[in-house]
């Protein structure tokens, strides 16, 4: 009898500690172990249920024991007086659906302490989870629920226990790393070495780690008594310096914020050659995809440096929020990930304020806003029934929406009150488990503000609001925008209206009513200057006097873009705002563009209005705002542009960005140092000209600047993606093989990935076929498989063949995507196919091949494709007409009233 996929372990038996004695065979890819579990039974029982997958249980015995206290400082198991109680009654009962093993004993086990000893064996996992091969390494990846592939254990986050681990079979020349420091390293009597690690504080099983292989250390940094070391394969050791610098700067800042010392003794950062996610926060032994850890600041684009710093800080924040205090169950996964997301940006901004990294946060928030506007979206705190569903929750809603909501709540409570609440929460639940309500309670207690209703409305409710904004102005006693008399004394009034926003216009009529407690911050100009005003919108509509002196000339409804909502301005408010766009802060200009495009997608605004807004920003200088503009235009070019209109589109983009790109050129005219802002502005302007407009002279110049394989690049690193992509698009056979060789051999992970994805951007027909075929070969590692396919699917020259590869060779594709996260990303990548016929083909394919663990990804992909097909039908013609009218000079070329800083 199966226990079912949704089975949860009983709570009346709990592990206190694990003593794991492993032996691994690196050559054969196998392992065996003896695991001693010190248990506490709240009631008598005849059976014990543990999690286990693909493990052969060879023997099991349980003893009653008077278990002494266990502490992380202990170096040997506590003294016990074991008494035999029971032996297995028949073979263990394995259940592949619930991923459990049931041990039934010949005698009833009494309540109290007990010691369970299990001998077992198994094989390395074929994918990127459990204990698996990553190049020359053996590495563990256990989140969400894959510790059960190496240990028969209580593999749910609520079962925290001390772990004492030793591993034999470590080859000479290899290193073994775990959560604790290595306390012994000795011959194992069978030609290898046995490494024993110090016991951990209480940990959930998904945070346990083991790494074995030929890796080398960086120089160790000692920061507030914590040794920090970055580990890589030998050819990449020179790329570890920046990771060391980042961790050394971040760790003390996190200690100061939490008011608690780093809890795990030492900090190892390990670069893994093949890794499913970006990184994994294993306590004291953080594993990373190499591209998220290793970078040379002298040659890496600034975007790569910022990404490495953000990921390192995210994982370090988890050492407190997630590891020291852990969620009770996976429905509070957001507690871990949203907090670490928000905290990473906060800490990196404090370390490197010149990076303006909160502007990068807006990009991730934009992805979450798009995802959360789907009918198939889920709340931040989703109901999770099993480990498979937990895996599907690692998305932008959990991370970026959760982080945005925390940032919004911090702004509402004040930074000091918010920090005090976090510190209280950490002290109260350290080395234990907690829930969202525990966090809200601590924030309420520290701030004295009623936060529970507001917070739960945002995390338990799917979606977010669009705020309609109109202003009644005093016009000599006339009527305001709503047709009502102006208030006494002529004070302007803002009218706010909230409703749930859907990317599909008709979805709202089918959905239940929803509303939020929305902290809205207005920024406006009156007769005196620019001011801010905070309004807590608690009802569907509200009319609030604006604290203005004299008339309001313009008003932005989401100051600094801190709110997680969209704003829809009435015609009068928008007409007043657009000529004054130069007075808005960069984040406000970004959100103005983002909201305008979202309203077009939802059918609530004409595409011509959006294109007029884009044209009005022709003097924009901020690289983040320019990046938002180019990003939205890239979507139009990919999905909503007829081939016959591409010439007009290229001319429009050249008109919009060409003069500024030419003024900056490809390098500093003075040949001296430039600030980051200017370098990044050059990068985005040239990207628009080369990759979007495909201006012939700019494309030729980009291809000519491709760095030679024979020598160092004399090119601003921020331009590398542009020149490599331009070269790949026009590649011949010789260049294709050169790019392929660089992708195989370059030591720098970001460079390696850049050249690999360049192969998927070729446009010559013969090379396109070869690029598609490479996907299933050794050139493309498993970790890069879904992103490589997504690049093929986004390339007009390769997308048809790439989809045929997936569909017609599904067994091979499915075998290579042998990782739940990689498989979900593969499904999501199908949404790059832009036409209605693609929707029909993808729907038929996914219905014929339902994918366990990708139910949510499948629903969201099909919904996105459906909306994009409808939007294509609606705006393809108007976009072409607008572009032709602009380039023919029929439309004026609007500009702001002042140069945008």
* Integer Cα distance of 425 and 435 in angstroms: 10
Where does residue 501 rank: exposed (0-12), middle (13-18), buried (19+ CB within 10 A)? buried
* Collapsed DSSP state (helix, strand, coil) of residue 231: strand
The answer to whether 504 is a known catalytic residue is no
Q: Quick one: residue 88, left, alpha or beta (phi over 0 = left, psi -120 to 50 = alpha)?
A: beta
Q: Are residues 248 and 260 in contact, defined by beta-carbon separation less than 8 angstroms?
A: no
* Integer Cα distance of 851 and 859 in angstroms: 11
Out of 143, 281, 290, 315, pick the active-site residue: 315
Q: Are residues 462 and 377 in contact, defined by beta-carbon separation less than 8 angstroms?
A: yes
* Integer Cα distance of 561 and 546 in angstroms: 19
Q: Are residues 560 and 571 in contact, defined by beta-carbon separation less than 8 angstroms?
A: no
Q: Which long-range contacts (CB under 8 A, 24 or more apart) does 729-734 make?
A: 729/761, 729/762, 729/763, 730/699, 730/703, 730/763, 731/762, 731/764, 731/767, 732/764, 732/767, 733/766, 733/767
* Token reading at 555: 């008003």
Cβ neighbour number for residue 795 with a 10 Å cutoff: 22
* Token reading at 531: 């001011």
| CA dist 717 → 164, 383, 662, 678, 722 (Å) | 45, 44, 19, 13, 10
Closest alpha carbon to 236 in 286, 281, 272, 278: 272
Closest alpha carbon to 772 in 739, 797, 737, 735: 797
User: ∠549-552-558 over CA atoms, to 5°?
Assistant: 110
> What distance, in Å, lies between the first and last C-alpha atoms of the chain?
69
Q: Are residues 463 and 377 in contact, defined by beta-carbon separation less than 8 angstroms?
A: yes
| CA dist 899 → 280, 576, 668 (Å) | 45, 17, 22
Which residues, including other chains, have CB under 8 Å from residue 338's CB and lie 6 or more apart? Answer: 380, 398, 399, 401, 402, 403, 405, 406
* Integer Cα distance of 720 and 706 in angstroms: 8
Cβ neighbour number for residue 673 with a 10 Å cutoff: 8
* Token reading at 312: 């390192």
* Integer Cα distance of 723 and 705 in angstroms: 7
Where do the H-state alpha helices sit in 695-732?
696-704, 720-729
* Collapsed DSSP state (helix, strand, coil) of residue 752: helix
| CA dist 332 → 129, 157, 325, 450 (Å) | 22, 10, 12, 21
> What's the residue count for the chain?
901
Closest alpha carbon to 316 in 383, 389, 253, 232: 253
* DSSP-derived secondary structure letter, 506: T
* Integer Cα distance of 50 and 14 in angstroms: 11
Q: Quick one: residue 399, left, alpha or beta (phi over 0 = left, psi -120 to 50 = alpha)?
A: alpha
Dihedral angle over CA of 291, 293, 294, 297, nearest 10: 100
* DSSP-derived secondary structure letter, 329: S
* Collapsed DSSP state (helix, strand, coil) of residue 206: helix
Enzyme catalytic residues:
315
């Amino acid at each position: 009898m199966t226990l079912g996929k949704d089975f949860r372990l009983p709570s009346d038996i709990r592990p206190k500690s694990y003593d794991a004695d492993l032996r691994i065979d690196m050559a054969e890819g196998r392992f065996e172990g003896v695991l001693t579990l010190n248990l506490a039974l709240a009631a008598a029982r005849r059976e014990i249920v543990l999690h286990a997958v693909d493990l052969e249980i060879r023997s099991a015995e349980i003893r009653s024991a008077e278990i002494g206290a266990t502490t992380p400082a202990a170096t040997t198991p506590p003294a016990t007086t074991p008494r035999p109680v029971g032996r297995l009654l028949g073979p263990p009962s394995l259940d592949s659906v619930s991923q459990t093993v049931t041990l039934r004993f010949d005698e009833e086990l009494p309540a109290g302490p007990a010691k369970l000893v299990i001998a077992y064996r198994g094989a390395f996992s074929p994918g990127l989870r459990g204990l698996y091969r990553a190049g020359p390494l053996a590495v563990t990846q256990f989140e969400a629920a894959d510790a059960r592939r190496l240990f028969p254990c209580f593999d749910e986050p609520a079962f925290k226990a001390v772990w004492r681990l030793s591993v034999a079979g470590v080859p000479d020349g290899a290193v073994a790393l775990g959560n604790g420091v290595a306390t012994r390293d000795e011959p194992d009597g069978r030609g290898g070495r046995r490494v024993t690690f110090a016991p951990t504080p209480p940990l959930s099983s998904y945070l346990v780690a083991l790494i074995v292989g030929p890796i080398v250390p960086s120089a160790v940094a000692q920061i507030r008594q914590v040794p920090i070391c970055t580990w890589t394969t030998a050819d990449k050791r020179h790329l570890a310096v920046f990771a060391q610098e980042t961790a050394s700067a971040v760790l003390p800042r996190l200690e100061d914020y939490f008011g608690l010392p780093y809890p795990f003794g030492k900090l190892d950062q390990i670069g893994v050659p093949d890794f499913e996610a970006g990184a994994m926060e294993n306590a004291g032994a953080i594993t990373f995809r190499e591209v998220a850890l290793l970078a040379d600041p002298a040659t890496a684009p600034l975007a790569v440096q910022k990404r490495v710093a953000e990921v390192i800080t995210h994982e370090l924040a988890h050492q407190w929020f997630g590891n020291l205090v852990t969620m009770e169950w996976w429905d509070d996964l957001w507690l871990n990930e949203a907090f670490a997301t928000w905290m990473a940006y906060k800490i990196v901004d404090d370390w490197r304020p010149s990076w303006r990294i909160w502007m990068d946060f807006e990009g991730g928030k934009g992805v979450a806003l798009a995802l959360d506007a789907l009918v198939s979206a889920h709340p931040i705190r989703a109901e999770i029934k099993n480990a498979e569903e937990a895996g599907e929750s690692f998305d932008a809603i959990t991370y970026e929406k959760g982080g945005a909501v925390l940032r919004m709540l911090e702004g509402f409570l004040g930074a000091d009150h918010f920090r005090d609440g976090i510190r209280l929460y950490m002290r109260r639940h350290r080395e234990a488990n907690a829930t969202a309500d525990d966090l809200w309670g601590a924030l309420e207690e520290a701030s004295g503000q009623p936060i529970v209703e507001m917070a739960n409305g945002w995390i338990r409710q799917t979606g977010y609001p669009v705020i309609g904004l109109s202003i009644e102005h005093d016009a000599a006693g006339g009527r305001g925008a709503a047709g009502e008399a102006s208030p006494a004394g002529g004070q302007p009034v803002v009218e706010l209206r909230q409703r749930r926003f859907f990317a599909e216009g008709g979805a709202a009529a089918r959905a239940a009513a929803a509303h939020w407690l929305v902290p809205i911050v207005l920024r406006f100009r009156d007769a005196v200057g620019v001011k801010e005003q905070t309004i807590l919108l608690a009802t569907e509509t509200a009319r609030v006097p604006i604290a203005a002196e004299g008339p309001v000339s313009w008003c932005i409804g989401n100051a600094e873009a801190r709110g997680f909502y969209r704003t829809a301005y009435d015609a009068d408010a928008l007409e007043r705002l657009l000529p004054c766009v130069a007075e808005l802060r960069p984040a406000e200009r970004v959100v103005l563009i983002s909201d305008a495009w979202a309203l077009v997608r939802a059918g609530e605004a004409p595409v011509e209005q959006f294109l007029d807004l884009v044209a009005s920003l022709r003097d924009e200088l901020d690289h983040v705002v320019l990046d938002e503009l180019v990003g939205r235009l890239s979507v139009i070019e990919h999905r909503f542009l007829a081939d016959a209109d591409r010439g007009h589109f290229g001319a429009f983009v050249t008109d919009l960005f060409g003069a500024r790109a030419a003024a900056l050129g490809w390098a500093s005219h003075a040949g001296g140092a430039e600030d980051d802002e200017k370098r990044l502005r050059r990068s985005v302007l040239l990207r628009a000209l080369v990759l979007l407009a495909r201006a012939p002279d700019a494309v030729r110049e980009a291809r000519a600047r491709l760095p030679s394989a024979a020598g160092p690049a004399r090119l601003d690193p921020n331009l590398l993606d542009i020149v490599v992509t331009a070269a790949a698009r026009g590649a011949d056979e010789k260049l294709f093989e050169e790019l392929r060789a660089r992708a195989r051999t370059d030591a720098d992970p970001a460079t390696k990935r850049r050249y690999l994805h360049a192969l998927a951007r070729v446009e010559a027909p013969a090379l396109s076929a070869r690029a598609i075929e490479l996907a299933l070969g050794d050139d493309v590692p498993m970790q890069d498989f879904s992103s490589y396919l997504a690049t093929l699917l986004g390339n007009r020259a390769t997308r048809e063949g790439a989809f045929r590869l997936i569909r017609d060779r599904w067994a091979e594709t499915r075998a290579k995507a042998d990782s739940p996260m990689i498989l979900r990303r593969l499904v999501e990548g199908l949404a790059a196919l832009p036409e209605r016929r693609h929707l029909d083909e993808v729907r038929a394919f996914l219905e014929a091949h339902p994918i366990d663990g990708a139910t949510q990804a499948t629903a969201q992909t099909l919904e996105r494709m459906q909306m994009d097909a409808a939007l294509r039908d609606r705006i393809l013609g108007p976009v072409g007409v607008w572009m032709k009218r602009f380039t023919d000079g029929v439309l004026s070329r609007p500009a702001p009233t002042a140069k945008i800083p």
